[in-house]
Structure 1
Amino acid sequence: MGTFPLPDAIDKDVVIYLTPWCPYCMAARRLLDTRKVSYEVVDVTGNAAARTWMRQNTGQSTVPQIFIKGESIGGFDELSTLDQRGGLREMLA
């Protein structure tokens, strides 16, 4: 089992668990880049420990799984909705 950073062990406010080829992961990164939000990437490719941790802590095994200040907000759709409603800015303030 490999090691991986947990959201509360990272000093970035935003952590994205992803795989490099996932289109929703790419879209989430693009949105955050556009908003100039700094984030930490955790690639879960071949990392069973990280996938198990994600499933246990979010109820999901799909990527991306996005955490803001240690709180799971879901995937790209939830991030996009949060951004459109101004909640992303509020959470990062």
Structure 2
Amino acid sequence: MKQKIKVYTTSICPYCITLKRFLEGRNIEYEEIDASNSEEIQNLIIEKTGKMSVPVVVFNDTWVQGFDRPKLIELLGLSE
């Protein structure tokens, strides 16, 4: 079974929009989780990454904070 990609975002985050366009442009399905109004989700992000900042991509138990294109390409096994 293919591992699901989770993307933590907020509605006012420009890098979140860029990340979603990046994934959609490559026909990559993902589950979007809005961290705006959930203290529980925000605390999870802080626990896993050390700070509350979005976007965050989770794939195969690896957490990538920010829109780090090279790291995402490597993590997801994509080509340029």
**TM-score relative to the length of structure 2:** 0.82
For 1:51, the aligned partner's letter is Q
Are residues 40 and 72 of structure 1, via their aligned partners in 2, closer, same or farther at CA, if it must alter by over 3 Å? same
| Structure 2: distance between partners of 1:82 and 1:71 | 11
2:74 alignment counterpart:
87
Give me the CA root mean square deviation: 1.9
**Mapping for residues 1-93 of structure 1, pairs under 5 Å:** 13-76=4-67, 78=68, 80-83=69-72, 86-90=73-77
| Higher helix content, 1 or 2 | 1
User: Deviation of residue 87 (structure 1)?
Assistant: 1.3
Contact residue 10 and residue 35 of structure 2 kept, 8 A: yes
Runs of 4+ in 1 over 3 A off after TM superposition: none
Query: Could you list the per-position Cα deviations for residues 32-54 of structure 1 after superposition, in whole angstroms to 9, with x for gaps in the alignment?
Result: 00011100011011111100111
Q: What secondary structure, in the 3-state scheme, does the structure 2 residue paired with 1:61 have? A: coil
Contact residue 12 and residue 39 of structure 1 kept, 8 A: no
Percentage of identical aligned residues:
25
Q: Can you give the 5+ residue segments of structure 2 that lack an aligned partner in the other structure? A: none
Paired positions, count: 77
| Structure 1: distance between partners of 2:75 and 2:27 | 12
